[in-house]
Amino acid sequence: MAGAALDIRYDLDHTKASTLIAGILARGKDPRRVFKVIVVDLERSAADTFRAEGRPTPWKRLSPVTIARRRKGKRGQGAVGGSVKILQDTGRLRMSVSGRARGSVRRFGRVDLTFGTNLAYAADQQYGRARKPGQKETVKAHRRKAHSRGSIKVKAHRVTSFIRTVTWPKVPARPYLLWQHQDVDGAIKHLLHYMVWGRAY
């Protein structure tokens, strides 16, 4: 009977295979070392998203009212004295996710990685916020009175509180924490290199 055959043999070195598997299992119990590398990539990705003002979909542009309320001069990036950048009036939100500034959240567990920010307004910007009419809030007012006592002018300082009703405007969602395709590919690459070879880079 005529025919052809391809005979493939693989001589498995059981010692090397056992060592490799043992290493993978050991590193799999505590991947925090590689998580710290992945966080650096996520910070870089967040910085790119802020620089592009939204990726892969551009963020909704700022309203004229928002631009008018921006800080002016060197301390802010308002309509006067600076460029108008979305979500970057003070830069606090951007720095909290693209660096290690106030509000940064970086937690490394044995089975999970938490990356984000705990700034009070962060969720509204990430997910958006519906219009909230008729909410009451307590406001502290500082009142100063100046009067004279002979030739000396005296300033009295008093703090009072009152309640006012405010309407919070609708905030469009502008996601700044997103898994981009390259982020997923990079994380998988880091995990594979670490799990198999023990190198985190």
Contacts of 171 (CB under 8 A, 6+ apart): 124, 125, 128, 129
Q: Residue 89's pLDDT is what?
A: 87
Tokens encoding 148: 């004279």
Rounded distance between C-alpha atoms, residue 45 and residue 179, angstroms: 9
30 versus 6: the higher-pLDDT residue is 30
Its pTM stands at 0.69
Q: ∠ CA 65-66-72 to the nearest 5 degrees?
A: 105
Find the mean pLDDT for residues 86-108: 92
93 versus 13: the higher-pLDDT residue is 93
Q: What is the mean pLDDT of the chain?
A: 80
Q: Residue 130's pLDDT is what?
A: 84
Q: At what angle do helices 181-192 and 32-52 cross, to 10 degrees?
A: 160
Domain spans of the chain? 14-131+170-197, 132-168
The residue whose two tokens read 């009295």 is 156
Find the mean pLDDT for residues 113-141: 83
Element (H, E) at 111: none
What are the backbone dihedrals phi and psi of residue 47, each rounded to the nearest 5 degrees, phi first? -65, -40
Hey, how many other C-beta atoms are within 10 angstroms of the C-beta on 97?
Answer: 25
Task: Assess whether pLDDT exceeds 80 at residue 109.
Answer: yes
Q: Residue 116's pLDDT is what?
A: 95
User: pLDDT by residue (tens digit) across 149-194?
Assistant: 666 665 655 666 666 666 667 889 999 999 999 999 999 999 888 8
Task: Assess whether pLDDT exceeds 50 at residue 79.
Answer: no
Contacts of 159 (CB under 8 A, 6+ apart): 140, 141, 142, 143
